[in-house]
Amino acid sequence: MHNRGSATIEATLVFPLFLFFVMSLYHMCCSRLADNIVYEAAIETAEYMAEYAYLDGHNILLPTYKFPEYIDEKAIVSRYVDGGTSGISFIGTNPLDDEGYVILKVQYKSKISVPFLPVLSKMHSFEIRQRAYVGAGEAGDSDDNNDSYVYVTDNRDVYHSTRLCTYLNLSVRADDVAGAKANGYSICEICGYGDEKIVYVTDYGRRYHKDIKCSGLKRTVYRVKLSEVEGLGGCVRCAR
């Protein structure tokens, strides 16, 4: 009887801690999902801006009213982004720079509300660089009508035939260190420090990251002519 009573007391003490951990992990994952939704909407917005780059100064107004249209899960963004879609700023956006690119700058503050803790918040900022579609002979476009567009990243290892390639759209998810190692991931050389229990991995990566802002988790995608990347091989997934 005494042992049974001890087990009951232990369960009473441990269960709330377990529930707190599960809820915290849940909110962290949802917050990361909100970040992905914002990033994907920003990509679509930059693409739209690139199509209307020929309007010059009028293009500066596009992010404000087009961005909310590309948010797929507005309820999640409203809960985990301070101010919802209205709290997302595009200050510093350049609708068409001197090199013929649209530069979309995005800033917002994420928020996580966990029971018994104050609201946790963090500032996020990133930019998307997209070549403007301004017609042949402009912004470095080729006059060759057979010269198709492809997509490359900063490291320019390969070119991609579609912006929707899964190698370009990083799917970031949270995991613990043991789980990441068990799935074949090794520590990132850039952000591999600290003793964080939660790390971040991508579906097609080989490293786990302790800092969600690590440059290894971000990619800037450029839309260029195939002739501009002569010598690069095509992506095995989308450019066969």
> How would residue 119 be classed by pLDDT, with cut points 50, 70 and 90?
confident
Largest CA distance in the chain: 88
Residue 110 inside a domain? The answer is yes
pLDDT at 194: 72
Q: How many CB atoms lie within 10 A of CB 18?
A: 10
Q: What is the average per-residue pLDDT within 187-212?
A: 79
For 35-84, the DSSP string reads HHHHHHHHHHHHHHHHHTGGGGGGGGGHHHHHGGGG-S-HHHHHHHBTTG
Has residue 78 been placed in a domain? Answer: yes
> Could you tell me the pLDDT band of residue 107, with boundaries at 50, 70 and 90?
very high
Considering the domain boundaries, does residue 91 fall inside one? yes
**Lowest-confidence pick of 77-81, 100-104, 137-141, 224-228:** 137-141
* β-bridge pairing 198-202 and 149-152: unpaired
Q: What per-residue confidence (pLDDT) applies to 78?
A: 92
Q: What is the pTM of this model?
A: 0.53
Identify the band that residue 82 occupies on the pLDDT scale cut at 50, 70 and 90. very high
In order of 41, 110, 208, 223, the CA distances from 35 in angstroms are 10, 8, 18, 23
- Whether 166 maps to a domain, the answer reads no
Residue 194 lies in a domain: no
Number of domains, the chain: 1
Predicted confidence band of residue 136 (pLDDT cuts 50, 70, 90): very low
Residue 217 has pLDDT above 80, yes or no: no
- Which tokens hold the place of 127? 């930019």
The 10 Å CB-count burial string (b at 16+, else e) for 208-237 is bbbbbeeebbeeebbbbbbebbeeeeebee
Q: Indicate if the pLDDT at residue 103 is higher than 70.
A: yes
The whole-angstrom separation of Cα 207 and Cα 220 is: 19
Range of lowest pLDDT (90-104, 174-188, 203-217):
203-217
pLDDT: is 140 or 110 the higher one? 110
For residue 84, being part of any structural domain is answered with yes
DSSP 178-200: HHHHHTT-EE-TTT--S--SEEE
Residue 9 has pLDDT above 70, yes or no: no
232 domain-assigned: no
Summarize the confidence of residues 216-239 as an average pLDDT: 78
If pLDDT is split at 50, 70 and 90, which confidence band does 57 have? Answer: very low
Domain that holds residue 124: 1-141
**Does residue 137 lie within any of the structural domains?**
yes
